[in-house]
Amino acid sequence: MGKVILLSTGLLIAGLSSGGPIPITPIGIEHADAASLVRISKTSFQTTANLRLRSGASTKYKSILTIPKGKVVYATEKNESYYKVSYTYKSKGRNTTKVGWVSGSFLKEYNLYTKTSGTYYFTNKTTKLYSSPNTKKKAIASLASANRLYSTQKVINSIGQTWYRVTYKGKLVYIYSGDVSTSSPVTSTNKPTVITTAGTTYLITGDVNFRQAGEGTKVLAVIPKGTTVVSKGKQNDDWYQVTYQGKTGYVSKSYVKSYVKSNDYRFIDLRTKSTVTAKKINDYIATNVKYMNKPSVLLNKGQAFIDAGNKYGVNALYLAAHAIHESGFGTSNISLGKNNLFGYGAYDSAPFVGAYRFATVESCINYVAQKMKADYLNPNGTHFEGAFLGQLTKDSKQKRIESKSIGLNYWYASDPYWANGIAKHMQKIMAFDQKYYEKAAIQTKVPAIPGIPVGKDTFPAGIQAKAAKDLSSEIKKGSTFILLEKSNDYMLKVNVNNKVDSLKIAFSTYNNYFFVLNLGRVTDTDSVNVRPEPSTNKKEIAKLTLNTYVHLVLDSKGNIVMDKTKKWYNVQLANGQKGWVSKMYITRELK
């Protein structure tokens, strides 16, 4: 392979060998020694030095990246002196999260201190004061119920608890927020004060201790991240009373997200197995495709959804409805031209060219089933917000309201009605059975996140592109080059001065780097005739099928050649012969 240059813009340029682009392999997290692995409450740490994030719990494992000194990470497991942490940072304007292992020698627990307006708090019961916002050291004093304390600082400690810094006998000390309120209690009690909020549903956002009666009481169980629980009440502002495995207890507010759950397909756990049959899926698709009178790649593919659901532990009815919703029952251009049922890889700026190309419909269904289970439906996945379709709520500026958005619709789609659309298809295929889903087992096995599928778009000979900025020493702003191929990993194979190179760019903003002068694609028809003249009077010399890429002829000034009416494009066929195609059946790509 030739020389590789990484530009500050994030664009990669490399000389290609005859074997084509080198595939990009995702870095995986290796398993820690099970015998030494300890699950801990989600704890925030700050790095005390530049620290390597590794794929395993020792220096023998490969380094994923270096976390700078002073950054905050969140730990959920420990293996001897190493912690499994998540680290979030900005990359190309987006938040990116990596998970791996770091040495505990370079971590210190991180507390978030915030100034507040002066507030008086009253103790709810006999409670203790501490020298720091936690109970690691012995209490320095004990106060009876109804004592008044003044605070100007709030602390969220490393495990998500809220504490107040208060003044006591001239000293600054800390008291746990669950032990105080802003009004004086009438009587003293050791039981939590409960405000009824029955009917609220919570998503557990991290592995959390399920306690008998709040902070410091007996731990009944550890509720895993991603579990849904129902409330029975609320203890002050920091502990919620919930039901889990038939028991009633309390969880910290820091580990829950509330939402309104409806009894329909939007809130079933998508890791449960559906009882839908291939015939029901096939019949629903066939009926709608017949009505639409269009070709479809989804006809008789019901078994493929069931097979993928069984293989990866994803609800097959959901998979089918998702594909139907995204592809218009398999009739969309991307599904017909690329076997891409879910729009994977498509961007608004280049929906067809940008979309991944799959070898078969089945390979697409399997890819998405694996991706959804490994990421969006995985409590440890980057895009997990609950293993259900959920809901998305936006404000007047079309910005997501995080506290009112949950489930797949939180990350997967910008359309607030996306989850509703998929749920409606599920309902039409098979009526919702609440009793079944209340008891259905969750398929907990999590596969690896799949790599980018192998696939590429090959363009006709002579497709010219122009650089919008300097791309290399040979490709300067305003210079032209020949576009040969685009692979699913967004590597472009190009010809520059009779030398084959490759460019890797972000296709979401491809026009910041280049644009194409003469690439067309057949659209809105099963096939289009190529005529010897810009008229239907002469017999066709060839036919071009739907979604075929087309070489549009350029004149000496680099302009597309059209007839006098501007209704016909001059095109060049693969054999070098030229002809004319009606403009109404050609869309220009990457222009």
Give the whole-angstrom CA distance, residue 130 versus residue 577.
86
Q: Which residue has the higher pLDDT, 32 or 455?
A: 455
Give the whole-angstrom CA distance, residue 187 versus residue 125.
9
**pLDDT at position 527 over 90:** yes
**pLDDT at position 14 over 70:** no
3-state secondary structure of 416: coil
Indicate the domain borders of the chain: 4-23+454-516, 37-109, 112-181, 194-259, 266-439, 519-588
**pLDDT at position 30 over 60:** no
**CB of 434 closer than 8 Å to CB of 263:** yes
The mean per-residue pLDDT over the stretch 241-248 comes to 89
266-439 has which fold?
Lysozyme (1.10.530)
pLDDT recorded at residue 152 = 82
**pLDDT at position 391 over 80:** yes
The mean per-residue pLDDT over the stretch 252-281 comes to 93
pLDDT recorded at residue 24 = 32
pLDDT recorded at residue 508 = 87
The mean per-residue pLDDT over the stretch 255-264 comes to 87
Contacts of 265 (CB under 8 A, 6+ apart): 318, 389, 422, 423, 426, 427, 432
**CB of 143 closer than 8 Å to CB of 122:** no
112-181 has which fold?
SH3 type barrels. (2.30.30)
User: What DSSP character marks residue 454?
Assistant: P
Give the whole-angstrom CA distance, residue 380 versus residue 41.
14
Count of Cβ atoms closer than 10 Å to residue 575 Cβ: 6
pLDDT recorded at residue 332 = 93
pLDDT recorded at residue 285 = 97
**CB of 177 closer than 8 Å to CB of 161:** yes
Tokens of 463: 């497709």
pLDDT recorded at residue 33 = 53
Q: Which residues pair with 562 in a beta bridge?
A: 569
pLDDT recorded at residue 170 = 67
Give the whole-angstrom CA distance, residue 569 versus residue 534.
8
The mean per-residue pLDDT over the stretch 322-343 comes to 95
Numbers of helices and strands, H then E, in the chain: 9, 37
Q: Which residue has the higher pLDDT, 41 or 109?
A: 109
pLDDT recorded at residue 25 = 31
The mean per-residue pLDDT over the stretch 478-502 comes to 94
pLDDT in tens, 275-316: 999 999 999 999 999 988 889 999 999 999 999 999 999 999
User: What DSSP character marks residue 185?
Assistant: -
The residue assigned the tokens 């000034």 is: 557
Percent of the chain with pLDDT over 90: 61
Give the whole-angstrom CA distance, residue 289 versus residue 440.
32
3-state secondary structure of 386: coil
Beta-strand runs (E) in 426-540: 456-458, 464-467, 480-487, 491-496, 499-504, 514-516, 519-522, 527-530
The mean per-residue pLDDT over the stretch 459-474 comes to 93
pLDDT recorded at residue 548 = 97
**pLDDT at position 512 over 50:** yes
Q: Which residue has the higher pLDDT, 458 or 415?
A: 458
**pLDDT at position 273 over 80:** yes
pLDDT recorded at residue 246 = 87
If we measure between CA atoms, which residue out of 514, 469, 472 comes closest to residue 497?
472
**pLDDT at position 198 over 50:** no
Give the whole-angstrom CA distance, residue 184 versus residue 114.
24
**Confidence band, pLDDT 50/70/90 cuts, at residue 369:** very high
Helix, strand and coil content of the chain, in percent to the nearest 5, comes to: 20, 35, 45
Domains 37-109 and 112-181 are alike in CATH topology: yes
- List the single range of 144-153, 257-266, 491-500, 574-583 with lowest mean pLDDT: 144-153
What's domain 519-588's architecture? Answer: Roll (2.30)
What's domain 37-109's architecture? Answer: Roll (2.30)
What is the residue-averaged pLDDT of the chain?
87
Percent of the chain with pLDDT over 70: 89
The CATH number of domain 194-259, selected from 1.20.1250.20, 3.90.640.10, 2.30.30.40, 2.40.110.10: 2.30.30.40
pLDDT in tens, 421-447: 999 999 999 999 999 999 999 999 999
Contacts of 48 (CB under 8 A, 6+ apart): 69, 106, 107, 108
User: What DSSP character marks residue 18?
Assistant: T
The mean per-residue pLDDT over the stretch 63-73 comes to 94
The residue assigned the tokens 């106060």 is: 143
- List the single range of 17-21, 51-55, 433-437 with lowest mean pLDDT: 17-21
